[in-house]
Amino acid sequence: MNVYDDFFKNISPEEWEFFAIDFLADNGFSIINYPSRGIDGGSDGIVKYNNITYIVSCKHYFNSGKSIGTDTEQSILDRVYQHNANGFIGFYSTLLSSSLQNRLNQLENKINILIYDKNIISDYLPRISSFILHKYGLPNQFKYVLNVSKEEYEPLNCLVCNRDILDDNNISFSMALITRNNNNELEYLYGCKKCIGNYFDIGWCEINQVLHLEQLNGWIYYVNDLIKNNKVSYQFYKNKNDFESRLQQKVYPSNWGRWLPL
């Protein structure tokens, strides 16, 4: 069982074509043509990389599990030339049949061929922007994850108004920050942006951001560094511990894409 099976399963065949283009763009390809509806002459989009123009052929048979063979992937060379391209990308949510693999091997001295099958795409998914995963995978099912059972879950309440800032509806509007109190000690605050956003801060993070592990680690390092050279308030460590431990309940799995500021 691949951790991304649900992700593949929930993409419709039509979305699969757009996902392919977004995926390739995120991996450095320039988009020449988006997928078009109707008679498209067998191209689900055209992309370019290193002066090679590729037609993209998308097949989404994940739900049937059918591998892609020469019966479904026909006249590859004609389609490439028809679009004045010199490359072919197969973008498949299943695997290739050996007949297609053999066919592609024969074409390799005529055109550039790149194949992204289910296994290869899965290997890339942890590195593509989580924006794309959200766009295609999460919104209809779940936007955020919950790493503990509902019974075990402990809210992280805004220090000002007591609202749970880890509630799915509040995450986008919440943050944490470090500020200085009147005794010149550091204070660790978390809450709604509208409750604490006006404080003068030494550093801050958005909850959406630190739900990504590498961002959370960056924040923790940053705060630990501040502590070394500053006095902290007596609430500081309690707030820091509550924040870090409760946030873990909703941190994305480490194989779930990286955070990109938009």
Binding interface with Zn ion (CB under 5 A): 158, 160-161, 163, 191-192, 195
CA distances from 38 to 13, 59, 150, 157, 217 (A): 14, 16, 46, 51, 47
Distance in Å, CB of 251 to Zn ion, minimum = 21
Tell me the C-alpha distance between 96 and 199, whole Å.
Answer: 57
Please give the order of strands across the beta sheet that includes 46-49.
30-33, 46-49, 52-59, 87-92, 112-116
Eight-class DSSP state of 129: B
Tell me the C-alpha distance between 27 and 49, whole Å.
Answer: 10
| Closest CB to Zn ion among residues 145, 160 | 160
Beta-carbon contacts of residue 23 (< 8 Å; ≥ 6 apart)? 91, 116, 121, 124, 128, 132
| Closest CB to Zn ion among residues 133, 158 | 158
Distance in Å, CB of 167 to Zn ion, minimum = 11
Tell me the C-alpha distance between 159 and 178, whole Å.
Answer: 13
| Closest CB to Zn ion among residues 42, 197 | 197
Question: Token match 């998308």: residue?
Answer: 58
Distance in Å, CB of 1 to Zn ion, minimum = 40
| Closest CB to Zn ion among residues 3, 160 | 160
| Closest CB to Zn ion among residues 131, 199 | 199
Distance in Å, CB of 192 to Zn ion, minimum = 3
Distance in Å, CB of 238 to Zn ion, minimum = 18
